[in-house]
Amino acid sequence: MRKTTAKLADGRELIYFDADDAAPRDSTDLRPLESTTAHSEVRLDPATGDRVTIAAHRQGRIHHPPADECPLCPSRDGRLGEIPAADYDVVVFENRFPALALGAGTAGGGAGPLHVSSPGTGRCEVVCFTADHDLSFADLGEAKAGLVLDAWIDRTAELAALPGVRQVFCFENRGAEIGVTLAHPHGQIYAFPFTTARTAKMAGRAAAHRARTGRNLFEDLLAAELADPVRVVLAGEHWTAFVPYAARWPYECHLYPNRRVADLTRLTGPERSEFPQLYLELLRRFDRLFIQGGQTAPVAPTPYIAAWHQAPTLGGGELALHLELFTIRRTVGKLKFLAGVESGMDTFINDVSPEAAAQRLREVAS
């Protein structure tokens, strides 16, 4: 892998991740951009302890541009976008409309002890998986998928080292149904100034399990799924994919390294080498979930969220790296909406049994 760092016209950082034999990339941004300022703050909900980021400046971000105006496509044929080069392998750059930024300014602090806020300090990055606008992650070859993994690892290490960063979150939103505003195949990385609520909850469960049993929760969880593999979807030498026992989403699959590690930077060479094969197969199975009888291709690409769970930079020793992949589609033409019970009470009701979902994901194997 070759890593090349450049600056965009407004001062944001851009990083090319290329195969070693790729041609050098042009890093000159010719757009007349003005610098932007992120005015965000993190407010504490006094009733739940959850943190909410207020980032009103994001209302003006680009929303569903036509394909010939996509800002994530290479800059060529007279069109200038976020990536100055005429071609690229994988690119990471600072989001122009970030929810969190190192220069987020100072928060007001609130009007009393129940109104607690802090600056929205952190960093938000965009990861472009390929220069080809019409592809998806599932269409990437193993070498390109491995390059994306290299980028995730690099960014996890660098962002975790920034002052004030407590957790690094790499993820992909795919599909308009999920809320994606740009169709180009891409993901994002958030460097949070706090430990997210979901991670804190898992850390609490892991600590309680350790106190009760003397063992690690996530090691026991993976061992239990392998001992009774009714929910196992894929099993490799270094990775295992399974539908969780209490899956929240109609089709949800978790991908764990068989050796517990805290974050992406701890993966070994063999673990990094095997990941693309299993992950690409899992994504392709998701795309085949909703093929009806007699069809050879899905009616529409499966919308999904792919989320890397990593330990926070402080106090995350019991947590285990894993990737969570799920779709909000529950059957052909029907979505799983988070209505009253889910949105109002944070209590999920799943329309598909985890065992049936795992069986379906095994049936659609390549």
Q: Where in the sequence numbering do the catalytic residues fall?
A: 186
The CA distance from 198 to 346, in Å, is 12
Amino acid making up residue 20: D
- Non-local (6+) Cβ contacts of 158 within 8 A are none
User: Strand (E) positions, the chain?
Assistant: 2-7, 13-18, 41-44, 51-54, 90-94, 117-119, 123-128, 167-174, 186-192, 232-235, 239-242, 251-257, 304-309, 322-327, 329-331, 334-335
Nearest to 93 by CA among 171, 165, 8: 8
- Cβ(170)–Cβ(156) under 8 Å? yes
Separation between Cα atoms, residue 256 and residue 321, nearest integer Å: 7
- The residue whose two tokens read 């979930």 is 289
110 sits in the region (left: phi over 0; alpha: psi -120 to 50; else beta) called left
- Three-class SS state of 74: strand
The closest of 272, 285, 209, 287 to 241, measured between CA atoms, is 285
The SS3 assignment for 181 reads coil
The token pair that represents 258 in the structure block: 């068989």
Closest Cα to residue 138, out of 282, 331, 18?
282
Distance between CA atoms of residues 177 and 171, nearest Å: 16
Nearest to 146 by CA among 156, 133, 137: 137
Question: Tokens at residue 256, please?
Answer: 């764990």
